[in-house]
Amino acid sequence: SQQGEEDPQALSIQEGENATMNCSYKTSINNLQWYRQNSGRGLVHLILIRSNEREKHSGRLRVTLDTSKKSSSLLITASRAADTASYFCATAVIQGAQKLVFGQGTRLTINP
């Protein structure tokens, strides 16, 4: 079963605008990771934020984590056509098998 839910399921914006995607999860976590998947390809790691961190930046990406609300957000600033992809959050849970649990993803479309 999926650990998290992503919101929105689909997002379409104009090139140059900012895109925000949200992720909620259910159990206590060690960290939360964001991945990008282009159509028909594998997943590419974007950023990892640990449970004791609240915000992290990488280039045009900004990730926040609120463990009290069990939620995270991914902000992509100044979007480009090449950002068109599906974006997934994944949590590494504290107990149980060492694995990543993925949400269902947000399909982002950047219109030129």
Partner 1 sequence: DAGVTQSPTHLIKTRGQHVTLRCSPISGHKSVSWYQQVLGQGPQFIFQYYEKEERGRGNFPDRFSARQFPNYSSELNVNALLLGDSALYLCASSPAGTGYGNQPQHFGDGTRLSIL
Of the residues 85, 102, 108, 110, which one makes contact with partner 1 according to CB under 8 A: 102
**For residues 36 and 86, is the Cβ–Cβ distance under 8 A?**
yes
Of the residues 74, 103, 108, 110, which one makes contact with partner 1 according to CB under 8 A: 103
Of the residues 2, 12, 27, 111, which one makes contact with partner 1 according to CB under 8 A: 2
The yes or no reply on residue 57 touching partner 1 (CB under 8 A) is no
Q: Minimal distance in Å, beta carbon 86 to partner 1?
A: 9
What distance in Å separates the CA atoms of residue 24 and residue 44, rounded to the nearest whole number? 20
Residue 95 CB coordination number (10 Å): 7
